[in-house]
Amino acid sequence: MVSISTGRQGGAVKIVIYAQEGWGKSSFASLFPDPLTIDTEGSTKHLDIRRIDQVPKSYPQFLDILSFVEATRPCKTLIIDTADWLEALMIQDLCAQRGWDGIECKDYGKGYVYLEEMFGKLLNRLEDLVQSGINVVMCAHVVTKAFTSPTESGSWDRYELKLQKKDCAKLKEWADVVLFGRFRDVVMAVDKEGKKLKAKGGEVRVMHTIRTAAWDAKSRFDLSPEIVFEKGILPAEIAGILQGTPAPDVKQPDSIPEPQPVIAEPKAEAPASKSAPAEETAKAEDAWRDGVDTRLLQLMDSNFLTEEAIREAVSRKGWFPKETPISKYPQDFVDQMLIAHWQPMVDFIKAQGLDLPF
């Protein structure tokens, strides 16, 4: 019988995460609901995660483990770590079955055609798991490859999944979400005026959800283009799609409480000559606010935080020298590290004892 429905159906999710070395793919995946990892490369033994004890040494062994998961349903999220090592087991098995010395020895690239068919059959079995309510996460390593655009002149390097071309395309088509994880470089000022900048990289972990010229990514959900990942914490937006709820707006510019105006008692007008110095002093004290994002100013005012407290906190985190004016912070730094993560910043300031009264 044929039926028709309208609207979102929800259900389990298919996610691919590929990232730079040391980014934390395995740790990230282990934060999913009731996870179980099939470790195809034996690299998770030092992590505190739930895993299948046996590391598959062949593709038939992997299929036996998958059959066990299908029969017993021991988890809510199945993690395959990693897809590229699993592909290597497929190639090994394919060559053994057909007596090939290697995948490339078959004429006219037919070896890769057989590999694509094998990979497609695996995705069909994983799709059945998803339809039964189990999330599937495929982790993968990243490789840099030269890319020539069919519509633009010139070529450049891109980050790509470390898979054979046809398998890579099929996996991206199959997934609901493809996340690219990297360490974001932060541009820091090295002089007091903030004119000389230097890139400092390697500390802030981010994941991207949309494709750019430098990497592939996608999402069938309304996710932010870039999501910050703090190790040990599943980002709220990712948790939201796993629970079948709309992703929250992490940028929250509209939810910032407006600072309440202070109504002063009316006072007798002072002579102009005496009030001028006070007005000049007030203007000088507020001069730092010029050029600062208004959303950040509202957050600071509503939490009674001084300019000194913000600059000191940013300095202690190693992001910018304390002498760098807030107005010189790059906009992406303000958006992603301050506004989007305002409450952790406030908590850090309080923990450091920087929330001193005005």
Average pLDDT score over residue span 24-37: 94
User: What pLDDT, in 10s, does the model give residues 156-193?
Assistant: 788 999 999 999 999 999 999 999 999 876 666 666 66
| pLDDT over 70 percentage in the chain | 79
Give per-residue pLDDT as tens, 233-283.
999 899 999 854 344 344 433 433 444 444 444 555 555 545 555 556 556
The pLDDT value recorded for residue 155 is: 74
157 vs 178: CA distance, rounded Å: 19
Q: What share of the chain is helix, strand, coil (3-state, %, to 5)?
A: 40, 20, 40
Contact 339, 296 (CB under 8 A): yes
- Whether pLDDT at 297 is above 60: yes
Averaged pLDDT, 346-352 = 85
Q: What's the whole-number mean pLDDT along residues 213-217? A: 89
Of 198 and 245, more confident: 198
Burial of residue 62 (CB within 10 Å: 0-12, 13-18, 19+) is: buried
pLDDT, residue 189, reads 61
Structure tokens at 225: 């283009």
Please give the pLDDT value at position 249: 43
* Confidence at residue 278, expressed as pLDDT on a 0 to 100 scale: 54
Contacts of residue 257, Cβ cutoff 8 Å, sequence gap at least 6: 298, 302
Q: Which amino acid is residue 186, in one-letter code? A: V
Report the helix count and the strand count for the chain, using DSSP H and E.
Answer: 11, 10
Residues 141, 87 contacting (CB under 8 angstroms): no
Mean pLDDT confidence for 214-223? 91
**Beta strand 177-189 pairing with 142-148:** unpaired
More confident residue, 341 or 55: 55
Residue 129, both tokens: 């798991």
- The reported pLDDT for the residue numbered 150 is 73
What's the pLDDT score for residue 53?
A: 93
Q: What integer pLDDT is reported at residue 246 of this predicted model?
A: 41
Task: For residue 12, give the nearest of 131, 175, 124 by alpha carbon.
Answer: 131
User: For 309, what's the count of Cα atoms within 13 Å in the CB-facing half-sphere?
Assistant: 23
Predicted pLDDT at 190: 64
Give residue-wise pLDDT tens across range 54-112.
999 999 999 999 999 999 999 999 999 999 999 999 999 999 888 888 887 666 568 88
pLDDT number for residue 255:
39
Please state the rounded mean pLDDT for residues 329-334. Answer: 84
DSSP assigned state of 215 = B
pLDDT, averaged across the chain: 82
Range with lowest mean pLDDT among 3-12, 134-143, 282-291, 297-306: 282-291
pLDDT at residue number 353: 83
Q: What is the per-residue pLDDT for 104?
A: 78
Higher-scoring residue by pLDDT: 153, 340: 340
